[in-house]
Amino acid sequence: MSTPFSRREILQKSLALGTLVIASSHGPSAMLHALEQSEERKPTPPNDLGPFYKRLAPETTSLRVAGDPGMPLAVSGQIFDTRGEKLSGAVLEVWQTNHVGHYDVEGYRYRAKLIADASGAYKFDSVVPGHYPDRVCQHIHYLVTAPGHKPLVTQLYFATDPVFEGDPDKNFTRDPLIHSRELVRPVTLAGDPKDIIAKVQFELCLERA
């Protein structure tokens, strides 16, 4: 049975009622802050690697180059572990199709290696991928590794994918490979009307080895 309270709510109630017995010289607010800083997280659901992973992708944050057709896309996020610690130096490999659903297997277009910064953050620029033949949804593949943690293989999906017809909560299972709604991320549009860019946040959480 699931609790009706979030972890934060339980912490607040415990502190208010004095039932959380922790020897500390700090006040409840500081304690709550400290606890939240290392809040436990659920590992990101894994998803298939797919058949077009390619080793030795170049280290770059610019998958899109000037003149590339397709909707510009900016993806960013942070890498955590299940204890909530930010994984500085985590290595991400991302790969996707171009805007019409073609994987580059001869070269490294739309493939990149990224290194999470000191706060575990990463970002890259690309285009919204097209629909690959025989796959229902647009997606970006991720392989995330960090010392002392299990490698994470997953995929990012887009809530704006026409397949979901505006209701990813209801329709995310239209792609039989999507087992978790969590992997379908909201998309926001930014920029001038003539220069719109799609933005997506995708936080990732690795399990300890």
Partner 1 sequence: MRRFFPHLIAVFTLALSALAADSPTLRQTFPLPSAVSTVFTAISPNGQRVAAACSDAKIRLWDIVSASLQNTLDLKGERPNIVRFSPDGALLAAGGSDGALRVWDSSGALRYDFKLAAEIDAIAFSPDGTRIAAAPNGLPVEIRELGANKLLASLPATFGGSASLAFSRDGRWFASADTDTEIRIFDARDFTLHARITDLLLEPLALTFSPDGSRIIAGGADGVITLIETNTGKIVKSLPKQADVVFVLRASPDGKSVAASYFNPDQISAPGRLLIWDAITGSLRSTVSTTEGGFNGGDYVHDGTLLVTSSSEKELKIWSIR
Q: Which span sits near partner 1 by CB under 8 A: 24-32, 36-44, 54-62, 193-201? A: 54-62
Check residue 148 for interaction with partner 1 (CB under 8 A): no
**With b meaning 16 or more CB within 10 Å and e meaning fewer, what string describes 108-127?**
bbbbbbbebeeebebebbbb
Distance, CA of 156 to CA of 197 (rounded, Å):
17
144, burial (CB in 10 Å: exposed 0-12, middle 13-18, buried 19+): buried
Check residue 199 for interaction with partner 1 (CB under 8 A): no
Check residue 133 for interaction with partner 1 (CB under 8 A): yes
Distance, CA of 168 to CA of 151 (rounded, Å):
27
Check residue 46 for interaction with partner 1 (CB under 8 A): yes
- Residue 207 per-residue DSSP state: P
Check residue 107 for interaction with partner 1 (CB under 8 A): no
Check residue 193 for interaction with partner 1 (CB under 8 A): no
Q: Which span sits near partner 1 by CB under 8 A: 78-86, 131-139, 160-168, 192-200? A: 131-139
Residues that bind partner 1 (CB under 8 A): 46, 48-56, 101-103, 105, 133-135, 143, 145, 151, 153, 176-177
